[in-house]
Amino acid sequence: METKNPPAGVIISPDTLRENRIPPGQSLTVKWPVLDAFGPPRVTAADWRLSILGLVNNPVDFDWEQFNALPRVQVFSDFHCVTRWSKLDNLWEGVSTRHLMERAGGVKPEAKFVLAYGYDGGWTTNLPLDEFLAEDALVCTHHNGEPLSIEHGGPVRLVIPRLYAWKSAKWLAGIELMPDDKAGFWERNGYHMNGDPWTEERFGSGW
């Protein structure tokens, strides 16, 4: 399969190195569909805040200026929506989730899961801590060199390349570190607690 050559210094998401980059049951899309439950909330860079809460040593909030002062990474990865489209060759830019956790004083040992909150009233998604802390996971402000549009979750969204795209919370408002798993919006409505596209973890595992 054709691969764009990502620029030097970029973190390469391991799934982009597979010989076949399209997971089972998925089809390639060239355009980038917009998908969300409630449509974009009214959040602009000026009033955006990100709260890191729960099982971290120093819960912390960032405003837009503080967030943009953090060191940045670029990640080259693929994006797989459970509605069966896959968009390859994305260059995301933002702050690594690992670095954000350091800024919150580090994750407490009891933390095992994460709940990500969107600004779109009540929307959440849950994921395992190790997936959240993967090297290619980031809190993202730019896609392919352009600021994220509001439709795609701007000013700031989560990007978790190794899981289905619903785990990549748009309009990110908060990140909560938790001891136990807790179903988010789609997970309460039948989607999988983990969401690995390569093993087709589309629908719930019964809890």
Ligand X SMILES: Nc1nc2c(c(=O)[nH]1)N[C@H]1C(S)=C(S)[C@@H](COP(=O)(O)O)O[C@H]1N2
> Under a CB-based contact definition with an 8 Å cutoff, are residues 132 and 138 in contact?
no
Single out the residue of 169, 175, 177, 193 in contact with ligand X (rule: CB under 6 A): 169
Q: How many CA atoms lie within 13 A of 111 on its CB side?
A: 23
In whole angstroms, how close is the CB of 47 to ligand X at the nearest point?
16
Stretch in the footprint of ligand X (CB under 6 A) among 11-19, 21-29, 103-111, 116-124:
116-124
Residue 171 interface partner, choices Mo ion, ligand X, none, CB cut-off 5-8 Å depending on type: ligand X
* DSSP H or E run through 196: none
Chain-centroid distance of CA 44 in Å reads: 19
Give dist(CA 123, CA 125) in Å, integer: 7
Closest residue by Cα to residue 155 from 1, 8, 49: 49
**Interface with ligand X includes 166 (CB under 6 A)?**
yes
Q: Which of residues 65-124 bind Mo ion (CB under 5 A)?
A: 81-82
In whole angstroms, how close is the CB of 90 to ligand X at the nearest point?
10
**Interface with ligand X includes 178 (CB under 6 A)?**
no
Give dist(CA 2, CA 13) in Å, integer: 16
Strands 27-28 and 85-96: parallel
Residue 168 interface partner, choices ligand X, Mo ion, none, CB cut-off 5-8 Å depending on type: ligand X
Note the residues at the interface with ligand X (CB under 6 A).
Answer: 32-37, 81, 118, 120, 123, 152-153, 165-166, 168-171
Note the residues at the interface with Mo ion (CB under 5 A).
Answer: 35, 81-82, 166
